[in-house]
Amino acid sequence: MVQIFRERMAAEMDDGFVIYINGMRLNKLRALPHWLVANWKVAKMFRELEADPDSGFLGYTPIFLGLRKGAAMQYWRSLEDLQRFATDPNGSHLPAWKWYNEEADPDGGLGFWAELYVVDGDSFETFFRNVPPIGIGKFAKMVPMREHERRLGLSPDGRTRRAAAGDVGAEETVE
């Protein structure tokens, strides 16, 4: 049975992390075979990454965006880990990218997109309640919200902490 966080929880990662979101869009129905192959290649990459704890890959969350498009929100320990994976001549990423550029996209039938965010340990905030571990909550240390120092003001009760402790004008939140 999946553990569900009944109390308000927050994720903490002091060293920060990287979020890499990439997705595909089926632009033309005739590109469906390429879309299926691309999904297979992506799934293979995720299996390889998950099997290698030294890769720096923390995991991913699939994102359903409709019938023709989808994405994966990936979590990485560092930008260097992600770049090492993306450029590894012996890995699965470079052949998949070559396949896409040379074979899968002769007429724009299958589109790819990506976003990359480097997240400092003090520049993110999370909130979890009545859900199992999801997103960064799968990979971070989870603490009760009452023990968590809110950094950015995300608060389920509408109260905020605008600034870090010691800053002039900081609002204090008491639970």
User: In this predicted model, what pLDDT tens digit does every residue of 56-114 receive, in sequence order?
Assistant: 999 999 999 998 999 999 999 999 999 999 999 999 999 999 999 898 877 899 999 99
Rounded to two decimals, the pTM is: 0.81
Q: How many C-alpha atoms does 119 have within 13 Å on its Cβ side?
A: 21
Pick the CATH number of 17-119 from 1.10.10.10, 3.40.50.150, 3.30.70.100, 3.40.640.10: 3.30.70.100
Q: What is the H or E stretch that residue 17 is in? A: strand 17-26
Q: How many C-alpha atoms does 20 have within 13 Å on its Cβ side?
A: 18
- Give yes or no for a contact between 83 and 24, defined as CB atoms under 8 angstroms apart: no
> Domain spans of the chain?
17-119
Q: What is the pLDDT of residues 131-171, one digit of tens each?
A: 988 898 898 888 888 887 766 666 655 555 444 444 444 34
Q: What is the pLDDT of residues 25-49, one digit of tens each?
A: 999 999 999 999 999 999 999 999 9
Integer Rg of the chain from CA:
19
